[in-house]
Structure 1
């Protein structure tokens, strides 16, 4: 299950494997993404190695180029038909579509799931129209979008034209993304189904004043995706721990900075300690700032994985992980 950038190349040629179900990492970076713009417009001396590299290497050859965290689930159903489920639609969504939908031959989005309503998770919602059939009068089937009531209330303010159901008198029809808003609960006891795949919400703290959702999914392989977390409530931790609700096959987990701590995200030391506690069969890390250098830090993680008995690596944009769901 653990894969590196070589999944994008075979015998020197770029390839895309489209068989079976897979997880496609559209974005693995922090809210401001990587490269950090400040490192480029006001470079340090010496310049930031990770960010300056972005000027000389194309993104498909640079695992340190990171968009906002986002996961596409390519779900192959029992009849062989594929459904495409998007988790989060952040500020870099259009770029991710152009880069990775085209590469992995993703034709559409069938469902959207939102972890929360912060900018790096929702500000690409207007660009959903780019992956919907063209209709100047909006005469298309809307894409189901699953979110909490708090996120719904926030998005009604951010994107009123995407939420309103009827035009006001005299208002012109304008082509916008068509979305079918479906409110879910912040509870491990309230699963929901998106495009035939069952998801269990995993409420976590994203700062002590805010609840964000992760999601547990997969019957044949048990996967948890948790992109924005500073602390696990005991009920959520129990639900996804080896000694509690059952061992995860794959944990996808937040890690913001290399050292220290942060009030709204796990950082590398806390992320590794969380992995020890939860004890998944394997883990991939997301949400990294420019402090992380992909190859160097994955070398450290290889040693850590051997020592702890849990394979862990940094994910990267464009990574495709085949998985039986």
Structure 2
């Protein structure tokens, strides 16, 4: 198979290097309610939901239809061979993702965190970050940097005040909690930031017409854009990641909630495929899927679309590791 195409096991071949040192690990590829959808199991339809019942009966490591909240781990290798681990979003399933995929891929820690927005499926696992930090009953450890917008910071300060406060109040006892270093970033493509040695370009997108979420562009040897929660691309953002704009992406990782129709705060498959054709990356992987998607069956259909349009696209799956040079 040609380099950069689709592999038989449903993953992409290495991107632009015979021996890539970095990699992308998909910790979660599902929607906010995850897959299986609990209501399909508690109140089964007739016939029952095939994807949800199958996803519960087959071990997740052998089951691409089992999907946790969307989250990406970047295993970034520096020129000297040192690795840093950068986590994008810490959703409701984070502890499960650690037990399943950190252990499977031998990920020892998280060096920094980036948040796309402050919704539950992106932040409610923040308390469990302590599981990937050194143990200290007195919290005497270096805090993990967390990059987020001021809007997200204000929301998280209300959700998790004990993770934000810097000093104990008089008479307040020490309790072991995740130690986090909050770093404000801006929702603007021209306001790049660096964390764990890797530069990121914020990609503001509409997540419903009343809300801005962030995607991120990163990588120099391979240009990767990660956009997990989007209903519409502002022209300025689309320009930054499009072939006819600032330059072609090597990999686009993009939201797709439902197989048919449209949704007010997410792209669905018809709009996702339209966006792929406009942006024209070298290849694309889809995330954020509901139980409407059957991984193997729908990837067969997407393979036909890929051959027709000349852009390899597939559904990603939890645990997928993509070797890549960044």
| Counterpart in the other structure of 2:299 | 298
Q: CA deviation at 1:54?
A: 2.2
Helix, strand or coil for the counterpart of 2:243?
A: coil
- In structure 1, the partner of 2:144 is 143
Q: Does 1:207 align with 2:199?
A: no
Question: Could you say which residue in structure 1 is the equivalent of 2:242?
Answer: 241
Instruction: Give the CA deviation at 1:251.
Output: 0.1
Separation in 1 of the partners of 2:182 and 2:268? 33
User: Could you list the runs of 5+ residues in structure 2 that have no partner in the other structure?
Assistant: 12-18
The residue aligned with 2:38 is 37
The Cα of 1:157 is off from its aligned counterpart by 0.2
Measure the CA separation in 2 of the matches of 1:323 and 1:118: 29
Aligned to 1:15: none
Aligned to 2:56: 55
Structure 2 CA distance for partners of 1:105 and 1:2, relative to 1, 3 Å: farther
Change (3 A) 1:19 1:310: closer
Does the 8 A contact of 2:20 with 2:325 survive in 1? no
Cross-structure match for 1:14:
none
Alpha-carbon offset, residue 207 of structure 1: 0.2
Per-residue deviation, 1:5: 8.5
The runs of at least 4 aligned residues of structure 1 exceeding 3 Å deviation read 1-8
Residue 281 of structure 1 and its aligned partner are, at CA, apart by: 0.3
Cα 1:309–1:24 shift into 2, 3 Å:
same
User: What is the aligned partner in structure 1 of residue 14 from structure 2?
Assistant: none
Aligned to 1:22: 23
Residue 185 of structure 1 aligns to a residue whose secondary structure is coil
In structure 1, the residue corresponding to 2:271 is in which secondary structure? helix
Go from structure 1 to structure 2 and tell me whether the alpha carbon gap of 1:5 and 1:147 turns closer, same or farther (over 3 Å shift).
farther
Please state how far the C-alpha of 1:135 moved relative to its aligned partner. Answer: 0.1
Aligned equivalents of 2:231 and 2:10: distance in 1? Answer: 31
Tell me if 1:109 matches 2:110. yes
Deviations 1:112-149 (A, max 9, x none): 00000000000000000000000000000000000000
2:260 alignment partner in structure 1: 259
Give the CA deviation at 1:56: 1.7
Q: Measure the CA separation in 2 of the matches of 1:6 and 1:164.
A: 47
Are residue 285 (structure 1) and residue 277 (structure 2) matched? no
State how far apart, in whole Å, the 2-side matches of 1:254 and 1:110 are. 25
**Secondary structure, aligned partner of 1:60:** helix
- CA deviation after TM superposition for structure 1 residue 221, in Å: 0.2
Contact between 1:220 and 1:324, CA under 8 Å: does it hold in 2? yes
Q: 1:88 corresponds to which residue?
A: 89
Cα distance in 1 between the residues matched to 2:127 and 2:73: 18
- The Cα of 1:282 is off from its aligned counterpart by 0.3
Q: Does 1:75 align with 2:99?
A: no
When the two structures are superposed, what TM-score results if normalisation uses the length of structure 2? 0.95
* Runs of at least 5 residues in structure 1 that lack an aligned partner in the other structure: 9-17
CA distance in structure 2 between the aligned counterparts of 1:119 and 1:202, rounded to whole angstroms:
20
Looking at structure 2, the residues matched to 116 and 3 of structure 1 have their Cα atoms a distance apart, in angstroms, of: 31
The residue number in structure 2 matching 1:307 is 308
The whole-number CA distance in structure 1 between the counterparts of 2:157 and 2:249 is 35
The structure-2 alpha-carbon separation of the partners of 1:19 and 1:273, relative to structure 1 and needing over 3 Å to count, comes to: closer
**Contact persistence 1:29–1:286 (CA under 8 A):** yes
Residue 99 of structure 2: aligned partner: 98
TM-score, normalised with respect to structure 1? 0.95
**Alpha-carbon displacement from aligned partner over 1:230-289 (angstroms, at most 9, x marks no partner):** 000010001110000100000000000000000000000000000000000000000000
